[in-house]
Amino acid sequence: MEYRRLGKAGIKVSALSLGAWVTYGGQVGQEVADQCMAAAFEHGVNFFDNAEAYADGNAEIVMGNVIKKAGWRREDLVVSTKIFWGGKGPNNSGLSHKHIIEGVNNALKRLQMDYVDLVFCHRPDPNTPIEETVRAMDQVIKSGKAYYWGTSEWSAAEIVRADGLARQYGLTPPTMEQPQYNMFERARFEKEYDILYRELGYGTTIWSPLASGLLSGKYNNGIPEGSRATLAGYDWLREHVITPQRVEKVKQLVPIAGDLGCSMAQLALAWCLKNPNVSTVITGASRAEQVHENMKALDVVVKLTPEIMETIDSVLGNNPNKA
Ligand code: NDP
């Protein structure tokens, strides 16, 4: 495993990590979570991502149980949660001082931990002043309940504002963003956020590197039984993510993976890892075999020569830095 600094921060995260969305507390049970996290840990993964919203808090319970049962040293792990969607009720969501403090406290109980390493504001909250959120996050950090705080899917302008307010008032500035980044979703990560890497030394923990599995090639011949796109409530995936145009592009990328001697999933993950502004690629898996396959993506990165990257770009046709 390779370990990367989280931007300019001193903490190091495994270049490939594992998250709990869709799977833990929902699609798969405790046993599969045990197997997937054990497989990841065996490959050197130290970062495990979660959120208060995942399976209404059950994903944190499952992950906390796995970690407790496995007996891993807390020092060897980087665990995160994200605050925003804590439940029903006017004060159970968003980024108010109240919900941030209560949300973190509740997440820690579910995880059976005294602290998380990283805590994210899961989305920007138009109904709370950024200064209130920065002050609440500073309190979370100063109370030792989290070591670093960051944002998820905030605009670059909002992040710059949060950083500026923190510096103005002597509060803890944010450290990292959790954005979507994959072969199909590039503009924000590669263009809008450039200022964050250059000016703030921001780290990134990127999500849905396979676009929910699409970039593994598994949807090239229809929707396979048991895949994420068959789950109840995931119609949006079938309608907006697994589009015929995208499937067509994945089909054109498959021969490139073949020439490199890797699977399509490994090529798509390696392509994310190749970007130096990615601190960690958060993978997802519904079974341990996927973890074993995905972790080998690290070996593919060196094979991605400028020529191959150019060929991939020409298939995708969406490089935001090319007119
Ligand atoms: P991916 O895009 O990598 O999708 C993972 C899913 O793809 C798996 O659950 C599995 O689904 C399928 N898959 C994975 N590997 C393979 C393989 N080798 N071959 C075939 N199918 C495969 O990542 P996620 O969308 O799961 O996101 C990863 C993590 O990012 C989440 O767990 C979460 O922690 C974080 N996240 C954060 C968000 C945010 O707003 N901050 C939003 C979304 C995610 P299946 O087998 O069921 O088809």
Quote the pTM value: 0.98
**H or E element, residue 148:** strand 146-151
pLDDT on residue 294: 98
Cβ 286 under 6 angstroms from ligand 1: yes
Query: Atom 44 of ligand 1 has which residue's CA nearest to it?
Result: 207
- Active site residue ranges: 54
User: 323 falls in which pLDDT band (50, 70, 90)?
Assistant: low
CB atoms closer than 10 angstroms to residue 95: 26
Rounded Cα gap, residues 92 and 95, in angstroms: 9
- Please tell me the predicted confidence (pLDDT) of residue 16: 98
Residues constituting the chain: 323
- The CB-side HSE value for 13 (13 A sphere, CA atoms) comes to 28
294 lines ligand 1 (CB under 6 A): yes
Place domain 3-213+275-286 in its CATH homologous superfamily.
Answer: NADP-dependent oxidoreductase domain (3.20.20.100)
Taking the centre of ligand 1 as the mean of its atom positions, its distance from the CA of residue 170, in whole angstroms, is 37
Res. 14 pLDDT band, cuts 50 70 90: very high
- Nearest C-alpha to atom 8 of ligand 1 is from which residue? 285
Can you tell me which atom of ligand 1 is nearest the CA of 226? 47
pLDDT at 120: 98
State whether the beta carbon of 241 lies less than 6 angstroms from ligand 1: no
Question: Where is 104: in which H helix or E strand?
Answer: helix 97-111
pLDDT digits (tens, 9 = 90+) for 56-112: 999 999 999 999 999 999 999 999 999 999 999 999 999 999 999 999 999 999 999
Q: How far is the CA of 74 from the centre of ligand 1 (A)?
A: 25
- Residue spans of the domains in the chain: they are 3-213+275-286
Ligand 1 closest atom vs CA 82: 41
For a pocket test of ligand 1, which of 50, 189, 212 has the largest count of ligand atoms closer than 8 A to its C-beta?
A: 212
What's residue 287's pLDDT?
A: 97
DSSP 8-state code for residue 180: B
Give the integer Cα–Cα distance in Å for 219 and 96: 40
Mean pLDDT of the chain: 97
Q: Which residue has the tokens 């705080």?
A: 149
- Tell me the two tokens of residue 235: 């119609």
33-37, 67-71, 153-157, 319-323: which range is least confident on average?
Answer: 319-323
Q: What is the pLDDT of residue 190?
A: 98
- Residue 317, classed as helix, strand or coil, is coil
Q: Which of 24-33, 213-222, 248-257 has the lowest mean pLDDT?
A: 24-33
Residue in 21, 125, 237 to alter for ligand 1 test, most ligand atoms within 8 A of Cβ: 21
Residue 302: HSE in the Cβ half-sphere, 13 Å Cα cutoff? 4
The pLDDT tens digits for 186-198 are 999 999 999 999 9
47 C-beta closer than 6 A to ligand 1: no
Which residue has its alpha carbon closest to ligand 1 atom 5?
A: 284
Q: Judge contact between 163 and 174, C-beta under 8 A.
A: yes
